[in-house]
Amino acid sequence: MSELELKTEGFHEDEGILSPQKEAELRGRLAVLESKYDSLVSQNSALRDENAELRQQLANLKKLVYGQKSEKTEVILENGEQLCMFNEAEENANKEVREREKDVVVPEHKRKSKRTHEEAFEDLPVEEVIHEVEDKECPDCGEQMETVGKEFVRDELVYVPARLFLRKHYAEVVKCPVCGEDESLDACYADVPAPVFKKATPPAPMIPHSFCSPELLAHILYEKYVMAVPLERQAKDFKAMGMNLSTATLANWVIYAAEHFFTPIYDRMKAELLACSVIHADETVVQVLNEPNRKAKTESRMWVYCAGKYEGHSNILFEYTPTRSGDHAKRFLWDYRKHLVCDGFDAYNKLTDAIRCGCWPHARRKFAEALPLDGTPVEGSAAAKGLEFCNKIFTLERIFEGHGEGNRMLTPEERYVNRQKHSKPVLDEFFAWLSGIHPAGGTKLARVVQYCLNEKTYLCRFLENGSIPVDNNRAENAIRPFVVGRKNWLFSTSPKGAKASAIIYSLAATVVANGLNVEEYFTDLCQMKQILPWKEEPNHDSQA
């Protein structure tokens, strides 16, 4: 052992050579210290990563609470400027790539012009009020003056409060004027015909032994499933109008309507949905209190399935299930063999026959969440660059859909050709870039990189068919009214009520998406008129 090594271990030259036992002991202690050192270094590195992750979570929470919720590029990138797709090290990249960038024309954003006063009121009924001249005597000659016209003064928007009234049903009774003319002889002579009476046969009540009308039930359903007004608040409104209706009564009416009036239409809508070439799917939580063998706070699920973005009309179906298992989606879609657009939830993997397609907004949202929030520059970060790749995909899709001056909406065949020409090179470059970056494990950036690599097959699926959209916004927009309503009514009391809500939400969302009047449509259904929610001119002769 050298002099330097001896001094390093705390020994001097005059102490002589160590004995084998002492040297072995010291080497053992050194090995223990080195092991502890390596352990502390590893622990310190883990704590640093954990600290960075916690700082990022704190920054995200602050942004969630205090920051803007918009996912627009100018908001999440703070400076509002588009970042360059290539940095200085990539300026000498393939010339074909740069030429392709020049072919992409970003449509100019134009602010929508405000509606005029007349346009705002054009769909409203008009009531004219003529203010007459009180003294029509001519101030010059004293003759009575005649009306020759009217002059416009102003508009007033009038609101008439809702009101309840009782509709009494009577059955008309008619009598034959010939039979039994002399009623005094009827009792004495058997051959004298008795008076003949007939009574009208009124329609049965909408709900047996109930005073609920189709108009009232349609309004209750509209308030809850479109305007997100819980039944408790509706009961208070009815009480203020002079009628005491308990929440239990309203709930029973809702369930009855779902089972008897809405379910046949729901089944026909499902058959139409399964015939679509593209279906969107998503799910969210719902709390149901009295589920058998489950605690009240256990989360259940509300699934939503929508017709494809490029179908002729909207068709939205909700389904309640007690769990999040993929078996529920498989049971609902059964042997569906066409395109299913969804997020990265593994439960959809059980749909082995469907052609699964990914959602690019999910990837973009994850890149937005991975943007540095600790004060480091956003520009030039890997998350910002991933965000720009996603933006380029969306820009191309907006052009293909006809947005921007001089653009028209392409047919599915034309969209397929243009995607192969413009979108595919962007995707190839994006995934090549992903494979070359190696962010620290556990960070949001690492998770989004892994997510995109795992979902590569599904994210690229839209290149195979011009009818496949690049996003799952159809399902997310459809489920949003349910999420807003859930903040008000909080939970369903029973699985029966949750199932009824799923059916009614399906028709309410579909009617709204197709631009029909919800209350009028619900009134027709409650009168047993089986009308699909995308028929503008319903066939009133079609009975259940």
Say what the pLDDT of residue 338 is.
Answer: 93
Q: Which residue has the higher pLDDT, 510 or 369?
A: 510
In the predicted structure, residue 80 carries a pLDDT above the cut 50: no
pLDDT for position 180: 67
- Each residue's pLDDT tens digit, 414-450: 999 999 999 999 999 999 999 888 887 778 888 899 9
Residue 308 lies in a domain: yes
Q: Is 291 within a domain? A: yes
Averaged pLDDT score across all residues of the chain: 83
Asked whether the predicted pLDDT for residue 84 surpasses 60, the reply is: no
Write b or e for each residue in 138-152: b if 16 or more Cβ atoms lie within 10 A of its Cβ, otherwise e: eeeeeeeeeeeeeee
Consecutive H or E run containing 497:
helix 495-513
In the prediction, which pLDDT does 215 show?
A: 93
278-287 sheet: strands from edge to edge:
316-321, 299-307, 278-287, 339-341, 355-357
pLDDT of residue 265: 94
Token representation of residue 286: 């719902």
pLDDT at 503 over 80: yes
Domain count across the chain = 1
Arithmetic mean of pLDDT, 182-201: 71
Residue 448 lies in a domain: yes
Is 145 part of a structural domain of the chain?
no
pLDDT confidence of residue 184: 62
Q: At what angle do helices 444-454 and 382-400 cross, to 10 degrees?
A: 40
Half-sphere exposure of 312 (CA within 13 A, CB side): 7
Instruction: Examine residue 103 and state whether it is found in any structural domain, yes or no.
Output: no
**Higher pLDDT residue, 108 or 401?**
401
Residue 155 in this model has a pLDDT that exceeds 60: yes
Does residue 104 register a pLDDT over 80?
no
pLDDT tier at 541, thresholds 50, 70, 90: very low
pLDDT at 285: 92
pLDDT of amino acid 376: 58
DSSP code of residue 162: -
H and E: helices and strands count for the chain: 19, 7
As a whole-number percent, the residues of the chain with pLDDT over 70 amount to: 83
pLDDT for res 176? 85
Say whether pLDDT at 538 is over 70. Answer: no
Lowest mean pLDDT among 92-101, 190-199, 345-354, 486-495: 92-101
More confident residue, 49 or 213: 213
pLDDT band of residue 349 (cuts 50, 70, 90) is: confident
**How confident is the model over 436-486, as pLDDT tens digits?**
888 877 788 888 999 999 999 999 999 999 999 999 999 999 998 899 888
Residue 212 lies in a domain: no
- Does residue 466 form part of some domain? yes
**Reduced to 3 states, what is the DSSP secondary structure of residue 460?**
coil
Structure confidence at residue 539 as a pLDDT band (50, 70, 90): very low
Residue 189 phi, psi (nearest 5): -120, 125
Minimum mean pLDDT range among 243-257, 439-453, 474-488, 498-512: 439-453
Domain range enclosing 383: 225-526
More confident site: 189 or 238 = 238
Out of 217-231, 246-260, 276-290, 394-408, pick the least confident.
Answer: 394-408
Can you give the pLDDT at residue 273? 94
Map residue 175 onto helix, strand or coil. Answer: strand
Which pLDDT belongs to residue 96? Answer: 47
User: Residue 178: its pLDDT value, please?
Assistant: 78
Highest mean pLDDT among 134-148, 160-174, 213-227, 345-359: 213-227
Residue pair 351/340 in contact (Cβ under 8 Å)? The answer is: yes
Return the pLDDT at 444: 84
Higher pLDDT, 49 or 427: 427
Is the sign of the CA dihedral 117, 118, 121, 125 positive or negative? Answer: positive
Supply the pTM of this predicted model. Answer: 0.75
> Is 16's pLDDT higher than 90?
no
* Distance of alpha carbon 335 from alpha carbon 281, whole angstroms: 15
- In angstroms, the CA 383 to CA 379 distance is 9
Give me the mean pLDDT over the 4-21 stretch: 58
- Please answer whether residues 288 and 322 qualify as being in contact, where contact means their C-beta atoms are separated by less than 8 angstroms: yes
Q: Could you tell me if residue 443 is inside a domain?
A: yes
Q: How confident is the model at residue 79 (pLDDT cuts 50, 70, 90)?
A: very low
